[in-house]
Structure formats: structure tokens, C-alpha cells
């Protein structure tokens, strides 16, 4: 296994998989709420795109061609998670979502963001 040890952390029981998938499901529910209840179609599409791409990129990184490719994919996932937090803040501040909904989803998104920061940082240090 050697230099490919980092692949071990990428399995279905890993917290980043579980948390990013759960976040994606919450974002899909938020999207449905925004289009059906609030009739908001622009910001909702943005948060849907960024919020669901985080887990997809993490899943894609399982089959990275190299450690550098893995780091690259995880870095993109990190950027998408950060963007998701931005769209959530904008939805709250523009009064499309209530403070309690924002706080709950933002907590989950920030947790995923922090885990991704740690994975990227550790992966770069162990290069």
C-alpha cells in the first residue's frame, strides 16, 4: 500500500463521507423548500449545486490517480463547502430562510468544511 495509505481514510464509514452526504440531503430539502414555498429559483440553484458537489467530489477522490490528484479533488470539495456557507448566509440575510434553519444547516456545512481543511492540510504535510 505504501504511499497510497491515504486511500484507507476514504471509505463509507468515514465521517466525511457520512457528513457530506447528510449535508447534501439537507441541501436538497432546503432547495425543495425554497422553490416550492418561497418561489426562489436563483440562489436556491446555487446552494444546491455547491452543497451537493461537496460529497460528489469526496466520492470522486476515492479513485484519485495519485496523492496529488486526491489533494486536488479534496481542495475543490473544500472550496465548494466554503461556497455553500456563503449561499446559506446570503439566503438568511435576504430573509429566504429563518435564523434557526440557517443555524442548523450552517453548523453542518461548517463541520464538513473544518474536516476538509484538516484532510487537505494533513495530506499536504504527508506528501
pLDDT, position 7? 47
Give the model confidence (pLDDT) of 47-93 as tens digits. 999 999 999 999 999 999 999 999 999 999 999 999 999 999 999 99
Single pTM value for the model: 0.89
C-alpha cell at 32: 425543495
Q: What is the DSSP letter of 43?
A: H
**Average pLDDT value for residue range 86-107:** 98
**68, 73, 74, 76 alpha-carbon torsion, rounded to 10°:** 130
Cα first-last separation, the chain: 15
Amino acid at each position: 500500500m505504501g504511499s497510497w495509505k491515504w486511500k484507507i481514510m476514504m471509505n463509507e464509514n468515514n465521517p466525511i463521507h457520512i457528513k457530506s452526504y447528510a449535508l447534501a440531503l439537507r441541501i436538497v430539502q432546503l432547495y425543495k423548500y425554497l422553490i416550492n414555498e418561497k418561489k426562489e429559483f436563483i440562489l436556491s440553484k446555487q446552494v444546491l449545486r455547491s452543497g451537493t458537489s461537496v460529497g460528489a467530489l469526496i466520492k470522486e477522490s476515492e479513485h484519485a490517480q495519485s496523492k496529488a490528484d486526491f489533494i486536488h479533488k479534496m481542495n475543490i470539495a473544500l472550496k465548494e463547502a466554503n461556497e455553500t456557507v456563503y449561499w446559506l448566509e446570503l439566503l438568511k440575510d435576504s430573509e429566504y430562510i429563518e435564523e434557526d434553519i440557517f443555524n442548523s444547516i450552517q453548523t453542518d456545512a461548517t463541520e464538513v468544511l473544518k474536516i476538509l481543511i484538516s484532510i487537505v492540510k494533513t495530506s499536504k504535510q504527508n506528501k
